[in-house]
């Protein structure tokens, strides 16, 4: 493989990693390792990658903006749970 082919190959790899958000994934994994300092880092990483990420959506609006109604409708449509600040208090 000559220098030009190596450069093209490197660019293809970088495009792939960026498009699949691999850099962000590794950054998040390393951050969690440093914060949590697990006894078995490999098992910790495997567990993190095996556990689906919990998705959260926040809807904020002033009184009378129907934010709760919109949130309930969206939660029903997406199959999510809806929790309002009032429910927590």
The label of the residue with tokens 């959260």 reads 56
Distance CA 37, CA 48 (A): 13
Distance CA 32, CA 55 (A): 18
Interhelix angle 3-19/22-36, nearest 10 degrees:
70
Take residue 28 and report the two structure tokens written for it.
């998040």
Specify the pTM.
0.55
pLDDT of the chain, 89 residues: tens digit per residue: 899 999 999 999 999 999 999 999 999 999 999 999 999 999 999 999 998 877 888 888 888 888 888 999 998 998 888 888 777 77
């Amino acid at each position: 493989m000559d220098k030009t082919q190596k450069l093209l190959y490197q660019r293809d790899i970088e495009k792939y990693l960026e498009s699949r958000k691999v850099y962000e994934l590794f950054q998040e994994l390393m951050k969690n390792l440093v914060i949590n300092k697990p006894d078995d880092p490999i098992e910790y990483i495997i567990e993190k990658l095996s556990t689906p990420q919990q998705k959260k959506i926040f809807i904020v609006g002033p009184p009378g903006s129907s934010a709760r109604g919109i949130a309930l409708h969206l939660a029903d449509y997406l199959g999510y749970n809806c929790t309002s600040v009032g429910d927590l208090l």
